[in-house]
Amino acid sequence: MEEIFKKISECIEFGKINKASSYPPKMKGLDGADELTIQALDAGANAQDILQKALIVGMAKVGVKFRENKVFVPQVLLSAKAMSAAMVHLKPYFQSGQLTRKGVFIIGTVKGDLHDIGKNLVAMMVEGNGYEVIDLGVDVDEFKFIEEARKYPKAVIGMSALLTTTMVNMESMVKAIKNEMPERKICVGGAPVTLDFCKKINADSYSSDPQGVVDYLDSISA
């Protein structure tokens, strides 16, 4: 079974979605994450093991490569699609309770900002590492974050901004959330955001890349 887990992990790492996909060239004609996940389940593999030993392992490697500039956005998107193809077969196990998530992550691009590429990359990486992701989209105000956070008392909130003009909105939004939920953890990120800014607005975590968000979530959920 370990061999098939390794193959699934490699499909995630290199973006091999299914047998029909021609990317990457070196894996052309081979089964992808889609078929291999079915094979693993049919062979009696535990869904939790597939998640932990194959999908999370593969996405973690992608995250590290992205941080080190060894892969770029198109490759990460293909890896995310491969991960999603595998997750389709695992979702019934989540719904039945046989498969559990590591936690819940609520993410959105802050009010006034319509950019979503960075947010989407973080959401994909976090989901691929075993968390349930609630994606609120773009132009999200503090009221929407609070409304969603009430539904998930232990969820961590993630805020993204691409512009300096919208980044400043994070300060009032963090304050509003913390006023109602003082213990709620809030992550901030985006091109103009810095660690100093994170500390200034009383957010709990800043990361310059998606893997850093995963590392933080793992550190507080362990």
CATH number at residue 49: 1.10.1240.10
Which residue has tokens 């709990």?
Answer: 204
Indicate if the pLDDT at residue 98 is higher than 80. no
Residue numbers of the domain that contains 38: 2-96
Alpha helices in 52-194 (DSSP H): 56-67, 73-96, 117-128, 142-151, 164-167, 169-180
Tell me how far apart the alpha carbons of residues 58 and 168 are, in angstroms, rounded to a whole number.
Answer: 35
Q: Let me know whether 118 and 36 are in one domain.
A: no
Q: Let me know whether 179 and 152 are in one domain.
A: yes
Tell me how far apart the alpha carbons of residues 76 and 210 are, in angstroms, rounded to a whole number.
Answer: 11
- CATH at 143: 3.40.50.280
Residue of 53 and 221 predicted with greater confidence: 53
- % pLDDT > 90, the chain: 91
How many domains does one find in the chain? 2
Q: Let me know whether 67 and 84 are in one domain.
A: yes
List pLDDT tens digits, range 1-52: 999 999 999 999 999 999 999 999 999 999 999 999 999 999 999 999 999 9
